[in-house]
Amino acid sequence: EIQSGERFMLTSGDTIYAENIGVRVMELFPDYDCATTVAPGFAKQVARSEPFWIRVQMRNDKVRKATGLTFQTFDDTMRETVESLVKIGGVKPRMKASSS
């Protein structure tokens, strides 16, 4: 039963650093040739998790029970986002030389 005033913060709990996004995308789309480093000049702008977040637990069992919500995996969300950017958003991925 949901108590009056109870709040939920919805998050997948996945941690991914900017320089790892390209690696994750290439795992999902092996023919893509993605950047795997942060461009010079932007490295200082990339946010890192503060140490206090190490103690935070990310759980979704309570909100699933209270609302019946189901969550997608990070990879499913990433895959669908990339596919949408390519199909709808006009993004043209750089392909690996062996895929041409």
Question: What confidence tens digit (pLDDT) does each residue in 37-85 have?
Answer: 777 777 777 666 667 666 767 778 888 888 888 888 889 999 999 999 9
Of 67, 80, 99, residue with least CA distance to 2? 67
pLDDT at residue 1, rounded to an integer? 62
Q: What is the pLDDT of residue 84?
A: 96
In this predicted structure, what is the pLDDT of residue 69?
A: 86
- Whether the CB-CB separation of 73 and 16 falls below 8 Å is answered with no
Could you tell me which residues are beta bridge partners of residue 32? Answer: 95
d(CA 19, CA 39): 9
Most distant CA atoms of the chain, gap in Å: 58
Identify residue 90 by its one-letter amino acid code: G
* Amino acid letter, 26: M
Whether the predicted pLDDT of 92 surpasses 60: yes
